[in-house]
Amino acid sequence: METKIKEYQTKLSNYAQHLRDVRVVGLLLFLVVLLMMSWSGVKVIETNYSLQKQISQLQQQKDLQELSNTNLKLTNEYYGSNQYLELMARQNFGMAAPGETVLVVPQDVALSHTVDKPNTEQEQQQQAAAKQPFYQRNFQAWMNFFLHRQPQE
């Protein structure tokens, strides 16, 4: 047992002597500097990436604002046009252009010649759900509850 301990101590002293060698210290120092430079490079790349993301977001916001401004300019131009003024005069004041005849049709006559609009998808789903048996509607209600869906009314 003592021999094993002495062998172990001699091995440790050999390792300690190797660590005191100038070449090993220089190599360790070089590795530490290399590691620090690599870490610094990674940090620079990460910072650059986050700044590029911010620039991209700000550029998109700027483009969106420019489109909004252009849309508002076109809307203002339309409000100043003769076409808009004529439409508003007809709609709000019941005016007509010279030489035009205005026909007034009673509402019940006008509505008697209309076509019913087709059901929307939601109404069709509601009608289909109403035709389902009770146990299917109950099962669907439980599934909606467990999956946090909005109930279809």
Claim to verify: residue 81 and residue 7 sit in the same structural domain: yes
Cα 82 to Cα 88: distance, rounded to the nearest angstrom: 10
Claim to verify: residue 91 and residue 121 sit in the same structural domain: no
Query: Is 108 part of a structural domain of the chain?
Result: no
Claim to verify: residue 124 and residue 67 sit in the same structural domain: no
Is residue 122's pLDDT more than 80? no
Claim to verify: residue 11 and residue 70 sit in the same structural domain: yes
Claim to verify: residue 19 and residue 59 sit in the same structural domain: yes
Q: How does residue 152 score in pLDDT terms, banded at 50, 70 and 90? A: low
Per the structure, the complete domain to which residue 125 belongs is given by 115-153
Claim to verify: residue 137 and residue 76 sit in the same structural domain: no
Claim to verify: residue 63 and residue 122 sit in the same structural domain: no
Per-position DSSP letters for 89-131, written without gaps between them = HHHHH----TT-------HHHHHHT--PPPPPHHHHHHHHHHH
C-alpha count within 13 angstroms, C-beta hemisphere, residue 153: 1
Query: Is 109 part of a structural domain of the chain?
Result: no
Give CA angle at 86 (83, 92), nearest 5°.
Answer: 135
Query: Is 82 part of a structural domain of the chain?
Result: yes
Comparison of pLDDT for 124 and 23, the residue scoring more: 23
Would you give the DSSP letter of residue 21? S
Claim to verify: residue 119 and residue 49 sit in the same structural domain: no
Give the mean pLDDT of 97-108.
83
Claim to verify: residue 51 and residue 23 sit in the same structural domain: yes
19-23, 58-62, 94-98 — most confident range: 58-62
Residue 66's alpha-carbon distances to 57, 143, 145, in angstroms, are 14, 46, 44
Claim to verify: residue 85 and residue 149 sit in the same structural domain: no
List, for residues 56-76, the tens digit of each pLDDT value: 999 999 999 999 999 999 999
Query: Is 152 part of a structural domain of the chain?
Result: yes
> 55: which 2 tokens?
């620039």
If one counts the domains in the chain, the total is 2
Claim to verify: residue 8 and residue 36 sit in the same structural domain: yes
| Amino acid of residue 65 | Q
Give the mean pLDDT of 98-109.
83
What percent of the chain lies above the pLDDT cut of 90?
Answer: 38
The alpha carbon of 144 is separated from its chain's Cα centroid by a whole number of angstroms, namely 25
Query: Is 110 part of a structural domain of the chain?
Result: no
The alpha carbon of 27 is separated from its chain's Cα centroid by a whole number of angstroms, namely 50
Residues 6+ apart with CB under 8 A from 140: 129, 132
Claim to verify: residue 96 and residue 151 sit in the same structural domain: no
